[in-house]
Structure 1
Amino acid sequence: MPLINVKVIEDVFSDEQKAEVIARLTDAMVAIEGEALRPVTWVVVQEVRSGEWGIGGKPLGTADVRALQGQPAPAVG
Structure 2
Amino acid sequence: MPLVNVKVIEGVFTEAQKAEMVTALTDAMVGVEGEAMRPVTLVVIEEVKSGDWAIGGKRLTTQDVKELAAGAPAG
Amino acid at match of 1:64: D
Determine whether 1:54 maps to 2:45: no
Spell out, residue by residue over 1:26-70, the C-alpha distance to the aligned partner (whole angstroms, 9 max, x if none).
Answer: 000000010000000000000000000000011001000000111
The runs of at least 4 aligned residues of structure 1 exceeding 2 Å deviation read: none
- Alignment of 1:38 onto 2:46: no
Give the match for residue 6 of structure 1.
6
User: Which residues of structure 1 form unaligned runs of 5+?
Assistant: 72-77
Aligned Cα root-mean-square deviation (Å) = 1.0
1:68 match: secondary structure: helix
How many residues align? The count is 71
Q: What's the TM-score, normalizing by structure 2?
A: 0.92
Counterpart position of 1:74: none
2:58 is matched by which residue type in structure 1?
A: K
**Match of 2:50, SS?**
coil
Percentage of matched positions with identical amino acids: 63
Q: What is the alpha-carbon distance in structure 1 between the residues aligned to residue 10 and residue 33 of structure 2?
A: 31
3-state SS of paired residue (1:22) = helix
TM-score by length of 1: 0.90
